[in-house]
A and B are shown apart, each in its own frame.
Chain A
Amino acid sequence: MFPGVNGFHWSPVHIIFLSAFGLVLSVLLVTLAVAFFRTLRDVRSGRAGAIAWHCDFEDLPRQERLCRHAFEGAAPGRLCDRGFDCRDCETHPKFATIETRWPVTLPAGLEYPETRLYHRGHTWVEPQPDGTALIGLDDLGARVFGAPEVVELPAPGTKLSVNGAAWRMMRNGASVSVRSPLEGEVIAHGAPGGQWQLRVKPEAGERAFRHLLSGAEAHAWVNAETDRLMILLSSTPTGAALADGGALVADLHQALPDAPWDEVSAAMFLNC
């Protein structure tokens, strides 16, 4: 390589040739380095959760990416293209004004109080008078997962981002990451086995809750979700089927121990 060593000699062709390849190699290395440093920057600035959700959302099966207005009939079959973040969605306000066409009754036995707001990842949010909000698993989510063996809550002070990871729970080999319904800072943990898991100080303003479901809209969504759960359970090799019209048991996990709970929980909690 070096002039004079073992008779190697440089020519202008060598210089052109090696510069061209040196350039290509540097472009490749610079690209990798840029991606690496941007990753560091994203992780440090707390954008990791949002980006991970973006990637996850792309890989979700089609039926899990339906727009919230698909359930109540305003936009049947419409796919969401914003990662379930309706806060800045331009079409959401327009669809919201359309009157629902489909009558909705909540599946028997499920409780979805009107005082709470619901997130597509099966959590509820209850705004408190002091400006904080409580977060817990919704009724269907609680019945699917039952009593978790381990719950890993984020330390107080942790910043949550919408759809990012809120907490992790494990049971009998199945492990899910529960998606955060709100953007904000974790203030306190709920009592183990209690109704709520996290107390959060959300970002200020009405906008913070715009992407959450409530009332009849939430009921329509729960209806669709119950159907989806039944399809998931009936298509598994265990052959377990839930009789239509009957009430869901409190702990499905216990009732159907052989079902592939890893799969089913991942599907219900929008894990990839």
Chain B
Amino acid sequence: MADMAWVPTTMLDRKFVPRGVTRCTPARFSLWLTPWCLLLGLGLWAAYLCLRDGLLHTNMDNRFAFGLWIFLDLAIIAFGGGAFFSGVLLYFFKLKELNAVIRSAVLIGFLCYSGAVTVLAIDVGQPLRAWFTFWHPNAHSMLTEVTFCITLYLCVLAVEYLPVLLRNRQFRKIPSFLVFEWELHKLIPVLAGIGAFLSFFHQGSLGGLYGVLRGRPFAFRESFGIWPTTFFLFVLSAMAVGPSFLLIMTRVAEWVTRKRLVLESVYVRLARVSGWMLTFYVLLKSIDTMVWLNSTSRRGGFLPWEYYSWEPFGVWILFVEIGLFGFVPALWLMRAGKVNTSWLIAPALLACAGVALNRYVLTVQTLSLATLPFDEFLSYTPSWQEVAVFGGVVAYGVIVYSVLYRYTRLFPQEQER
């Protein structure tokens, strides 16, 4: 009897699955989605609590005004940088291999950004006033730049993904949809171009967010013009981990679906690009750290050892970020093609961990450290609501990605095998 109930669902499901690829049964697919839906439900409940009663459901406080949410938002926006960077590499540097992952990259970018914006909407005290930034913009604020860029970039990503959606088996039966897809696809380099412009500025401004904090000597950096060095370091690090994150996600998708989705050469290309960018980033990051510790910080009256004398934020954190999570994966990724391709996920994970650690240090360590000489070093543990909201966003990403993987052609090379 249970089988009978699935028959109409199966029929409907098959009508949307692209022809020429195999997908698991709807029952199995629902089983996969169930835990993610539960997590999403928990996240929605926690978000509702925060919106209903205010942010007293979080463990943030007047010193820890930014917490888990901001740290993870910065990290996933860096990971989502793969969307714009692979677009640039594919359409402007003509790395044709990336055609195999560009649709997945755009979708991952969209999910990362929309997830981050959702968390931000819960993180701010008065989300209904978000439009004020467009109405009373303070053009000097890095956050204004971030808000403008991310809003526009979300639209760009949605438009970039639209063609993939329009090629769904049912949508494509409407001939003008396909024609629109075709005409839009011819203009994709324009979208990739403005996507790169917007990404450059918001990835940068997210770094600038901390670099301009004159009142936080741990975060404050030297400036080139109006932009502090963290502006450029954030752009570079996003370009470095974007391809790495794409590599990880593609591998994970291959494990979950038990299929080969792209050719091995695609992994090698992603890893090499990531490796080169990471090397460049880590070198500049090292120089920046030296300048900051020896010059910028001292001028503000702060000695470098003061930052690193509080457990657990010892000097080790600096060496882990730059060495273990920086140079090691950079050299490993650059050797892609000469080393075992299936192991490349390890340095890719290290690279992502390094950039996440960078965002963590800039958010959490900056706020932990006291500025006033008599003030205390503080710590903070996120509440379950904070964790749940973020879990809900991850679940949202997994669910949308799974559904679109099932019903659209995310990996053009999938059917060739």
Contacts and interface: CB of A to CB of B under 8 A. Distances in A.
B415 A61 contact: yes
Given A17-B139, A32-B159, A173-B11, A59 B18 contact: yes
Nearest to A7: B136
B190 interface: yes
Given A1-B135, A173-B11, A263-B19, A48 B175 contact: yes
B159 A28 contact: yes
Contacts of B167: 55, 59
A38 B145 CA distance: 33
Contacts of B169: 272
Contacts of A38: 183
A52 to B, nearest CB: 4
A102 interface: no
15 contacts: A1-B135, A11-B139, A24-B198, A34-B183, A35-B187, A36-B180, A39-B176, A39-B183, A47-B179, A52-B175, A59-B167, A59-B409, A177-B173, A267-B20, A271-B19
Interface string B178-219: 111111101100110010011000000000000000000000
A145 B11 CA distance: 18
B335 interface: no
Interface residues of A, number: 46
Contacts of A21: 148-149, 152
Nearest to A21: B148
Interface string B331-357: 000000000000000000000000000
A242 B140 CA distance: 73
A28 B158 CA distance: 11
Contact of A24 (B18, B139, B144, B152): B152
A165 B175 CA distance: 10
Given A21-B149, A61-B19, A262-B14, 4 more contacts: A1-B136, A36-B180, A62-B415, A267-B19
Given A35-B183, A263-B14, A48 B176 contact: yes
A43 B20 CA distance: 28
Interface in B378-417: 409, 415-416
B55 interface: no
A137 to B, nearest CB: 20
A52 B187 contact: no
A42 B186 CA distance: 14
A21 B152 CA distance: 8
A49 B11 CA distance: 28
Interface string A31-66: 110111011001100011101101110011110100
Given A34-B187, A48-B179, A260-B14, A60 B20 contact: yes
A28 B139 contact: no
Nearest to B11: A173
B299 interface: no
Given A173-B11, A272-B172, A28 B152 contact: yes
A22 B186 CA distance: 23
B155 interface: yes
A18 interface: yes
A18 B175 contact: no
B180 A31 contact: no
A28 B175 contact: no
Interface centre among B15, B148, B149, B179 (most CB of A within 10 A): B179
Given A18-B139, A35-B183, A52 B14 contact: no
A14 B139 contact: yes
A24 B194 contact: yes
Contacts of A105: none
Contacts of B139: 11, 13-14, 16-18
B137 A18 contact: yes
Interface string B55-70: 0000000000000000
Contacts of B18: 59, 272
Nearest to A17: B139
A6 to B, nearest CB: 7
Given A25-B152, A28-B194, A31-B187, A51 B14 contact: no
Choose among A32, A47, A52 the residue with the greatest number of B CB atoms under 10 Å from its CB. A52
B317 interface: no
A250 to B, nearest CB: 26
B140 A13 contact: yes
Interface in A248-268: 260, 262-263, 266-267
Nearest to B17: A263
Contact of A6 (B136, B176, B187, B409): B136
B175 A43 contact: yes
Interface in B129-157: 134-137, 139-140, 144-145, 148-149, 152, 155-156
Given A11-B139, A25-B152, A39-B183, A52 B19 contact: no
A143 B144 CA distance: 65
- Cβ-closest 4 pairs across A and B: A61-B20, A17-B139, A52-B178, A35-B184
B179 A51 contact: yes
Contact of B137 (A17, A177, A263, A266): A17
